[in-house]
Amino acid sequence: MVSDKDLYKRLFTLALPIALQNIISYAVGLADNVMVGSLGEMSISGVYLCNQIQVMLQMLVAGFGAAMVVLGAQYWGKGDSKSVKTLVGIALKIVSVFAVTLWVLVFFFPEQVLGLFTEDRQVIAEAVKYAKIICFTYIFFCISNVLVASLRCIGTVRIGLYLSIVSFLMNVFLNWVLIFGNLGAPALGVQGAAIATLASRIAEFVIVVVYMRFVDNKLKMCLIDLYHNNMTLLKDFFRYGFPVILGDILWGLNLSVQGAIVGRLGAASIAAVSIANNVFSMISVGVYGTANASAVIIGNTVGEGDLDKIKRYTKKLQFVFLGVGICTGMLMFILKDYILLLYDLTDETLQIARALMTVLSVTVVGTAYQMSSLTGIVRAGGSTHFVLINDAIFVWLVVIPLSLIMAFVVGAPTWVVYLCLKIDQILKCAVAVVKVNRFDWIKKLTKEFKTAEA
């Protein structure tokens, strides 16, 4: 474990900015959660429902970004920057279409869309106020995240951190002004929170576009690069990227179904899950930072073609994943009671939230190992179909059926239902440890192009 210091240095260099970026990004969500929570459980429940739509879009964008990283990291590893830029253009054009489509659905049919997650008319009415504004963030969010992912696959990760800092400061300040009516502004409640988020997304978009055009000296993208076409790369993007994209879409759908299950357990449970998820997202940033950094490292190394280095890195990274998971779980368990002091909610809601965070402090150990191993190593190494099939089996044949039975047949407490929703994080560890150490996932996905074609 003490050899290969370059591996740990590179892992830390990549993972730390990603983790800090996620901390700040989730701090925005936590700030929204706390500030909106002061308006009452109905408001926090309404925002939670809207965030289920955001989760679907976020998983879709994450899928396209991850698919681009799987191929782009390998092309960057072999020194082919033109192919990387072409892949960025492909991803941008596709996610923009999805963003506009979702905006149309949410802006013109908000009640129908939100009605998929709950039957509580009061919660839906509160959620519509937020949704009619927040839907304008979709296009800015999609473009910004794809561009940040493109920089990540070439090892440039600090810009994501800077974006998050700007977003956090702007969002919290505007929340304070617009939610509560400070500095002479009208008190807009949940609508003020939505306007603050929209302003932050626009700022992120402007900064990343300016950075890529005038500051970045690696990829050096221009607007004309978005119009370049390469049919071989397009086919490979969908051949190898489609399982990644579909996997993240299905995972987003899974989270939305989970949101629909929770949405029928009552306002107290909805609010408690919202709190627990926000706290978990913020505390577990090291887990996801390590997984994303590992994907870049493994992808670049596969592109270089050094088989011995790939195997050596893989064995050592697995110990890192376990260590990060155990530390995260302990931190979650220790801090849960202190974090809940920030909220002014009923005793029932706080008691449920405390139980849910205890569940998460255990399951995060499994998340750290299996997710990092399967998406950070196996998927980045080229075996994209395996992760899709594995996730589909556990989610749709185990997690969702078991949760539905516990929620609506057995009538189990909220924490039991929530444990069933997270149980795959533990079960998938057995699959991960076998698959990763067989090394049959190593696949070089790059092609050789003539200069004119590229």
* pLDDT tens sequence across 54-106: 877 887 888 888 788 888 888 888 788 888 888 888 888 889 999 999 999 99
Is position 302 within any domain?
Answer: yes
Measured CA to CA, the distance from residue 5 to residue 123 in angstroms comes to 53
The answer to whether 377 and 294 are in contact (CB under 8 A) is yes
Per-residue pLDDT reduced to its tens digit, 258-295: 777 887 888 788 888 878 887 888 788 889 889 988 98
Measured CA to CA, the distance from residue 359 to residue 423 in angstroms comes to 10
Measured CA to CA, the distance from residue 302 to residue 400 in angstroms comes to 35
For 88, the enclosing helix (H) or strand (E) is helix 81-108
Q: What confidence category does residue 40 fall into, taking pLDDT thresholds of 50, 70 and 90?
A: confident
Residue 429 has pLDDT above 70, yes or no: yes
Is position 453 within any domain?
Answer: no
Measured CA to CA, the distance from residue 135 to residue 53 in angstroms comes to 9
Rounded mean pLDDT of the chain?
A: 85
Measured CA to CA, the distance from residue 211 to residue 220 in angstroms comes to 10
Query: For residue 448, what are the contacts with CB-CB under 8 A and spacing of at least 6?
Result: none
Q: What is the DSSP letter of 218?
A: S
Is position 400 within any domain?
Answer: yes
How many structural domains are present in the chain? 1
Tracing tokens 């955001």 back to the chain, one arrives at 54
Tracing tokens 């969500």 back to the chain, one arrives at 29
The answer to whether 163 and 207 are in contact (CB under 8 A) is yes
Measured CA to CA, the distance from residue 366 to residue 363 in angstroms comes to 5
At 20 the pLDDT is 81
Is position 452 within any domain?
Answer: no
Is position 449 within any domain?
Answer: no
Is position 190 within any domain?
Answer: yes
- Looking at residues 97-125, what average pLDDT do you find? 87
Residue 256 has pLDDT above 80, yes or no: no
Per-residue pLDDT reduced to its tens digit, 360-378: 999 999 999 999 999 889 9
Measured CA to CA, the distance from residue 249 to residue 389 in angstroms comes to 13
Q: What is the DSSP letter of 127?
A: H
Domain limits for position 264:
5-436
- Structure token digits, residue 168: 């956090």
Q: Is the dihedral angle over the CA atoms 299, 305, 307, 308 positive or is it negative? A: negative
The answer to whether 364 and 280 are in contact (CB under 8 A) is yes
The answer to whether 11 and 293 are in contact (CB under 8 A) is yes
Is position 454 within any domain?
Answer: no
Does the predicted TM-score (pTM) go above 0.85?
no
Measured CA to CA, the distance from residue 80 to residue 73 in angstroms comes to 10
Measured CA to CA, the distance from residue 415 to residue 38 in angstroms comes to 24
Measured CA to CA, the distance from residue 304 to residue 93 in angstroms comes to 29
Is position 447 within any domain?
Answer: no
Q: Which residue has the higher pLDDT, 39 or 420?
A: 420
Q: What is the DSSP letter of 80?
A: -
Measured CA to CA, the distance from residue 58 to residue 255 in angstroms comes to 11
